[in-house]
Amino acid sequence: MILEKLNTEQKKAVIHDKGPLLVLSGAGTGKTRVLTARFAHLVKKKQINPQTIMAVTFTNKAANEIKQRVSEELQLDINSQWIGTFHSIFSKFLRKHSTKVGLKSNFTILDSEDQKKLIKQVISFLKLDNDLNEGFVLNEIQNLKDEIIFSENKSSILENTSTNDIDKIYKLYQERLVDINSVDFGDLLLHSYSILINNSDILNIYKKHLSHILIDEFQDTNIIQYRLIKLLLNENNNIFCVGDDDQSIYAWRGAKLENILNFPKEFKSQVIKLTKNYRSNDSILNAASQIIAHNKNRLGKNLECANKAIKNNKIVLQSFYSQEEESLWIADTINNLSSNNKKYAILVRLTAQMRSIEDKLIKYALPYEIIGGPRFFERKEIKDIIAYLKLASSNSSDLSFERIINLPRRGIGEQTLNIIIKYARDNKISFLNSTKELIVKEKFTLSTSNKLSTFINLIEKCSQLINKTNLEDLGIFIIEESGYMKMLEIEKNIKKKLENETRIENLKELVNAMSEFSNLDDFLEHVGLVNQNIQNKENHKISLMTLHAAKGLEFDEVFLPGWEEGIFPSSRALDEKGNKSLEEERRLAYVGITRAKSNLRISYATSRYTYGVNNFSIPSRFLSEINSNNFNSSISQEGSLKLKNKNKNENNDSLSPGKKRMLEFLEKYK
């Protein structure tokens, strides 16, 4: 029964006798089935007590799926404390041994908001710079915990404050956590590691207890997760890892590709490759294999279609002159196909790409949902700048005033804001007018008055520009002159920096959106209508998300827009880490392609309008890495025809290398 529906390689992995094993499981090759079958096989055939098997996943959903599948297979309720995510498993461990790190067993796990409040209190107590961002400091501390650096011996790499300062914050923060009998998310693993490494008696108990360790998505493990697993292994080395080095796309959040690449050598492990894909057709799998083959840092495998009955629909490759044409084509295509009751996914590299696509989906009244984040106009940075626009348009927009008065930080605290609000309500005037009158009446210190006056002058300047300039320039003026762009650009923490780079791209796309309107009132009305366009989630058949959010999912029809140099691969990623980032971008392309079951459509635009400039675009190098026979031969040339007509009178020698490359590419795939 357990082995009944498994192919040869899957069976080989499941019945593996003992010792370490790496199951290199390509996209759509049934890794969850193999992991659960392995668990069931150990219990049913090897007579292993299920309470001695640790099965680690990266999501609660995956953990519950394993429990459910194993329970159904064995006709036995499997409710082991050793099945779950790293954090859920070690949370239980920590409660048993909490006294070893100065905690009580009923400790509280703080959420992110409470963590930030505590960091803020610590910064205030230490009398450090009040402008020191608590979120930034907290991220730095969490990174250090993931790298197993304790507060008492840390070496800070924080660039915008002194080493001594971060040392003090981290140390006092950890002391305060113990004082209030609390931990943060990072402590669940760090405290557990500390207990195991410093208490050999406890470590030996668990090493003897755990007969087998099974790990899902092994390519996503970070330093502390890997070290914890190594600590718990006994002399039998019964570690069974399932993963795919070609789907390692989370380096930015600490995942170490080296963990899976070095596993065979470090553990002297056998490697079984699962290559039979049960999801996609040959053209899709060939394209994925051809792209990923250009990576050097991989263990290597090629996917093959397991079900030859699947219709081999070739990949559609579309070119357009602009992103607006591209977005319109996506919405129109889905609209014409929407009666077939299939699931659609639109996977983008940058969140900024979503705005134009959302707009077209709304115009076609197509129900959609954003996976892994809010809709474009609901994103924090977008709402912040729109608040500036609203206040500039109407000085009675009190909610906008409250949102942006200290954003970016101007040193205007809650006490000052409360004075403004009280005076406004007492006198039935707007917050902005209240501020003006209080400044005249000298109700604030000179320093506070100057800060408030600077803000008022900015809003008044914006108000004047509404009727004097186009919306595009108004948007750029606010983003730049408010200091918002500078605030995003100066971030030093690597994780936060990546988030802020995404926010910057979103703001540039906001400017693009504003350029489509002739006046501010119409634009603000459009934003309001878009935000009110809430679809019935039960009818969602279209999922819009980033490529990162798509990992582990599958869809009947997949659209991959924006396959242009600079967007995909991302220029900012390449600038950051060069070839290492290029390989991760290529793995991201592999993930995107392999989400498709029956139909895949890739598109690019020959020009994109960004922050007031119309930029010429070159097709992604990834497209050239795919053999042309995998593409539909009847490629739309909407974009290429415009480009060719635009350049037909130009001497070929006068064309830029980029334009030459574009025309050569179009000629190849026409």
DSSP 547-561: TGGGTT--EEEEEE-
Catalytic amino acids?
31-32, 216-217, 247, 595
**Does the pLDDT value for residue 339 go beyond 70?**
no
pLDDT tens string 79-108: 788 999 999 999 999 999 999 999 999 999
263 is written with which tokens?
Answer: 């596993």
pLDDT confidence of 262, banded at 50, 70, 90?
Answer: very high
What is the spatial distance between Cα 357 and Cα 601, in angstroms, rounded to a whole number?
15
Task: Outline where DSSP puts E strands in 119-274.
Answer: 182-183, 212-215, 239-243, 270-274
Q: What is the CA radius of gyration of the chain?
A: 28
Interatomic CA distance for residues 16 and 4, integer angstroms:
16
Q: What is the mean pLDDT of the chain?
A: 87
Q: Which two tokens stand for residue 77?
A: 């309720």
Residue, of 304 and 648, whose pLDDT is higher: 304
For 145-195, what is each residue's pLDDT tens digit? 999 999 776 544 444 444 567 788 999 999 999 999 999 999 999 999 999
Burial class of residue 442 (count of CB atoms within 10 Å of its CB; 0-12, 13-18, 19+): exposed
What span, in angstroms and rounded, lies between the C-alpha atoms of 38 and 33?
8
User: What percentage of residues in the chain have a pLDDT greater than 90?
Assistant: 57
**Reported pTM:** 0.82
Q: Please state, in angstroms and rounded to a whole number, the distance separating the CA atoms of residues 505 and 503.
A: 5
Q: Cβ distance 397 to 405 under 8 Å?
A: no
**Distance in angstroms (rounded) separating the CA atoms of residues 87 and 188:** 6
User: Confidence band (pLDDT; 50, 70, 90) for 537?
Assistant: very low
- Provide the pLDDT for residue 136: 79
DSSP class of residue 314 equals: P
Please check the confidence at residue 587 and state whether its pLDDT lies above 70.
Answer: yes
> What DSSP state is assigned to residue 315?
B
pLDDT exceeds cutoff 80 at 129 = no
Cβ 408 vs Cβ 500: under 8 Å:
no
State the Cα angle at 146 between 143 and 151, rounded to 5°: 75
* 391-407 mean pLDDT: 89
Strand pairing of 613-616 and 607-610? antiparallel
pLDDT on residue 372 = 83
The reported pLDDT for the residue numbered 160 is 42
Residue 627 pLDDT level (bands cut at 50, 70, 90): very high
Task: Provide the pLDDT for residue 502.
Answer: 85
Rounded Cα gap, residues 633 and 614, in angstroms = 30
Contact 584, 574 (CB under 8 A): no
Cβ(23)–Cβ(274) under 8 Å?
Answer: yes
560 phi/psi in degrees, rounded to 5? -120, 85
pLDDT value at 633 more than 60? no
Least reliable range by pLDDT among 12-16, 112-116, 451-455:
112-116
Interval 261-290 mean pLDDT = 95
* Gap between the Cα atoms of 263 and 260, Å rounded: 5
Assess contact for 21 and 270: CB atoms under 8 A. yes
Identity (one letter) of the amino acid at 114? D
- From CA 260, how far away is CA 612, in angstroms rounded? 44
Q: In this predicted model, which residue has the larger pLDDT, 537 or 578?
A: 578
